[in-house]
Chain A
Amino acid sequence: MSVAPVDPAAVAAADELPRGPSLGRYLALRAGGSLISLVMVVVVGFFAFRILPGDPAITLTRGRQVSPEEVERLRQELGLDDALPVQFWHYLLDLLRGDLGTSYVYRRPVSELVLEHLGPTLLLTGTAALLSVVLGLWLGQKAAWRRGTWFDKIHTGLALTFWSVPTFWLGLLLLLVFGGGLGWFPTAGMETAGSDASGLAHVLDVAHHLVLPVVTMVAVVYAQYLMVMRASVLEEMHEDYLTTARAKGLREDLVRTRHAVPNALLPTTTLIFLTIGFLVAGAVTVEAVFSWPGLGYLAYQGLNAPDLPLLQGTFVVFSAAVIVMNLVADLVYRLIDPRLKAA
């Protein structure tokens, strides 16, 4: 599930990419595949909430006080008396217009809510992704180069341990120590409630709130990058071109940074994009722990209310984002690998 362990097969997966067809054909194939996945997301998003045992109108209003008239009005609003294909068609048309339905809790359009909460999530996951990539890759190549030393053992050990840590628990721990105990950092939200600070003061306030959630995400995510980078540098270790580089008289540092690392980065780059789904999972739990007002927190509220239109909307948006990122990963890989450019 979300916590897919880094396995050798994942490293091998990068090699599985087709190398034969021309760039145009390749683009079309990949884009077509992503489009099918998108359609499947929409289908799941629709049918999971409709083909349930029982009346969807009842399911949708579960946990709320509603009169029979209200249920009847909802049935008509949702078009539940139409045949399923007709309903699906209406849902598709709405979706193309950017209409994701109306949230029960907020009593506002879901698409509006999604747009509002997009910024904080991008800020959180973007910062966390950047930091974990830098940290993970740097430590990974260092650990591989010094394989078997204490540096390697300590960092692989740490990475394996962080791997086994559930994201939300690490968040709770940080809350316990730095939020509640020491009081160094705020425990919830993105800005101090009621403050009307602007300019630099506002930026600092947000940054202050950002520290604990970002540290939580980085700690869990960087481990994956470290292990992958370490594995792919190890693959390069015995290549002839490194012997050549050394024979030319290059210092060991330069052999590593100029020759081994750039080659090892190729498979790693794709994997970084492929782990975006992992970041999404992190966003949901981390935002729930720190009440960070992003998309993940929105989904969390959607499942606790239960506010099914909200849940459905966030599912479609999150999945679509991940599918698009995967497509980008394929394209980037194709563009940065000089061996593929000639094809």
Chain B
Amino acid sequence: MVRPSSAARLRRRARLREVWSEFASQRSGLVGLVLLLVIVVLALLAPLLVPIERLDVTRVTAPSNAAPSGGHWLGTDPQGRDVLAVLLWGSRASLLVGFAATAVSMVLGTVVGMAAGHFRGLWQGVILRFVDFFLVVPSLMLAIVLSSVLSRGLGTIILAIGVTSWAQTARIVRAQTLTIESRPYIERSIALGAGDVHVLGRHVLPSVMPLVLANTTLAVGSAIIAESTLSFLGLGDPTTFSWGSMLKSALDTGAATAGYWWYVLPPGLAIVVVVLCFTLVGRALESVLNPTLRSR
């Protein structure tokens, strides 16, 4: 006899295969996914490909702001470092902040959203006011305030982006929670004695997850743009390289007006490609999980 849990597992596995084959049938999503994997692998391998010593300003021998050549494919930056090497190392901070900030924002958004949909009365009112505040307040300004009063570092940036970007998710999750909880099986479960934790954890969370996942992919792109914006404004960790901090030094040294395109183009293009990939994957995933969108 098949135990119920393993039957559920089989069913889940079959569903997963189904989702994957539907996802794989969308070319743009697949292209995005493959490109992303390549970029993540490159970022992970950065220390092996380019030893960190080559980015030490005191040891570089190349002239500053040199145009691309055989020795430096993307030229050198104002400190004489190889732009390609800095770009590769920069991908680590940009991706790390993108993923970590999204994780913070998704967990916050899911928990608050579920609570706002589940509880009634005073608590619901308080939570909803809280969500409303984070929805309307300009998040870049709030992130700027947070990261300028806390000590500079990657952790601060992750926190600042995560804390200012969860409200949209909370709203979507709340709407979904309300829909789920109006269904009869929840009523049955409560009649059988299920508490808040059981209802939220065993019934609401699993049906909210697909929505959150599709949203997550889209949110990573936004978080990467947010990271680059904060670093560009000078709120980043001064000791690590990121695509945003490269662009900040491009602005500060007047690289754009001086025509040093090899220092202005690559970091921005890298951001655009990564964000576009996340958007493509996210949209493909969304249309698999939410078939009503497919006609668009």
Task: Tell whether B23 is near chain A: CB-to-CB under 8 Å.
Answer: no
| Least distance between B186 CB and chain A CB atoms (Å) | 22
Task: Tell whether A173 is near chain B: CB-to-CB under 8 Å.
Answer: yes
Task: Tell whether B92 is near chain A: CB-to-CB under 8 Å.
Answer: no
Band of interface residues on B: 35 or more
Stretch at the interface among B45-53, B78-86, B198-206, B255-263: B255-263
Q: Is the CB of A2 within 8 A of B139?
A: yes
Stretch at the interface among B8-16, B68-76, B163-171: B163-171
Complex Cα–Cα for A36 and B233 (A): 30
Q: Per DSSP, are chain A's interface residues mostly helix, strand or loop, or mixed?
A: helix
Task: Tell whether A57 is near chain B: CB-to-CB under 8 Å.
Answer: no
| Least distance between A141 CB and chain B CB atoms (Å) | 14
Q: Is the CB of A172 within 8 A of B250?
A: yes
| Least distance between B109 CB and chain A CB atoms (Å) | 12
Q: Is the CB of A311 within 8 A of B148?
A: yes
Hey, which chain A residues are within 8 Å of B268, CB to CB? Answer: 165-166, 169-170, 172-173
Task: Tell whether B235 is near chain A: CB-to-CB under 8 Å.
Answer: yes
Hey, which chain B residues are within 8 Å of A104, CB to CB? Answer: none
Give A116-148 interface residues, CB cut-off 8 Å to B. Answer: 147
Task: Tell whether A229 is near chain B: CB-to-CB under 8 Å.
Answer: no
Q: Is the CB of A172 within 8 A of B139?
A: no
Task: Tell whether B221 is near chain A: CB-to-CB under 8 Å.
Answer: yes
Task: Tell whether B190 is near chain A: CB-to-CB under 8 Å.
Answer: no
Complex Cα–Cα for A304 and B265 (A): 25
Task: Tell whether A88 is near chain B: CB-to-CB under 8 Å.
Answer: no
Q: Is the CB of B221 within 8 A of A33?
A: no
Task: Tell whether A86 is near chain B: CB-to-CB under 8 Å.
Answer: no
Task: Tell whether B2 is near chain A: CB-to-CB under 8 Å.
Answer: no
| Least distance between B114 CB and chain A CB atoms (Å) | 15
Say whether, besides A9-B168, A281-B139, A311 and B145 are in contact (CB < 8 Å). Answer: yes
> For B221, B229, B267, which residue has the most chain A Cβ atoms within 10 angstroms?
B229
Q: Per DSSP, are chain B's interface residues mostly helix, strand or loop, or mixed?
A: helix
Stretch at the interface among B34-42, B59-67, B271-279: B271-279
Q: Is the CB of B171 within 8 A of A9?
A: yes
Q: Is the CB of B149 within 8 A of A44?
A: no
Complex Cα–Cα for A11 and B179 (A): 17
Complex Cα–Cα for A44 and B149 (A): 12
Q: Is the CB of B272 within 8 A of A300?
A: no
Chain B 271-289, CB within 8 Å of chain A: the 1/0 string?
Answer: 1100110010010000000
Q: Is the CB of A180 within 8 A of B258?
A: yes
Q: Is the CB of A284 within 8 A of B140?
A: yes
Complex Cα–Cα for A168 and B247 (A): 9
Chain A 282-296, CB within 8 Å of chain B: the 1/0 string?
Answer: 001100110000000
Hey, which chain B residues are within 8 Å of A319, CB to CB? Answer: 136-138, 141-142
Q: Is the CB of B272 within 8 A of A304?
A: no
Task: Tell whether A318 is near chain B: CB-to-CB under 8 Å.
Answer: yes
| Least distance between B135 CB and chain A CB atoms (Å) | 9
Give B207-264 interface residues, CB cut-off 8 Å to A. Answer: 215, 218-219, 221-223, 225-226, 228-229, 232-235, 244, 247, 250-251, 256-259, 261, 264
Task: Tell whether B161 is near chain A: CB-to-CB under 8 Å.
Answer: yes
Give A158-178 interface residues, CB cut-off 8 Å to B. Answer: 160-161, 163-170, 172-173, 175-176
Complex Cα–Cα for A168 and B132 (A): 28
Hey, which chain A residues are within 8 Å of B138, CB to CB? Answer: 2, 277, 280-281, 318-319, 322
Closest chain B residue to A179, Cβ basis: B257
Hey, which chain B residues are within 8 Å of A163, CB to CB? Answer: 275, 279
Closest chain A residue to B293, Cβ basis: A8
Closest chain B residue to A279, Cβ basis: B138
The 5 closest A-B pairs by CB, nearest first: A169-B268, A164-B275, A281-B140, A180-B257, A1-B165
What residues of chain B have their CB less than 8 Å away from a CB belonging to chain A? Answer: 129, 132-133, 136-146, 148-149, 161, 164-165, 168, 171-172, 175, 215, 218-219, 221-223, 225-226, 228-229, 232-235, 244, 247, 250-251, 256-259, 261, 264-265, 267-268, 271-272, 275-276, 279, 282, 290, 293, 296
20 pairs across A/B with beta carbons < 8 Å?
A1-B143, A1-B165, A1-B222, A1-B223, A2-B226, A44-B145, A166-B225, A168-B228, A169-B228, A172-B250, A173-B256, A175-B256, A176-B256, A176-B257, A281-B229, A285-B229, A303-B144, A308-B148, A318-B138, A322-B138
Known: A166-B247, A168-B229, A181-B259. 17 other contacts (CB 8 A): A2-B226, A5-B218, A13-B171, A37-B132, A48-B149, A161-B276, A163-B275, A164-B225, A164-B276, A166-B232, A168-B251, A169-B267, A169-B272, A172-B264, A280-B140, A303-B235, A315-B141
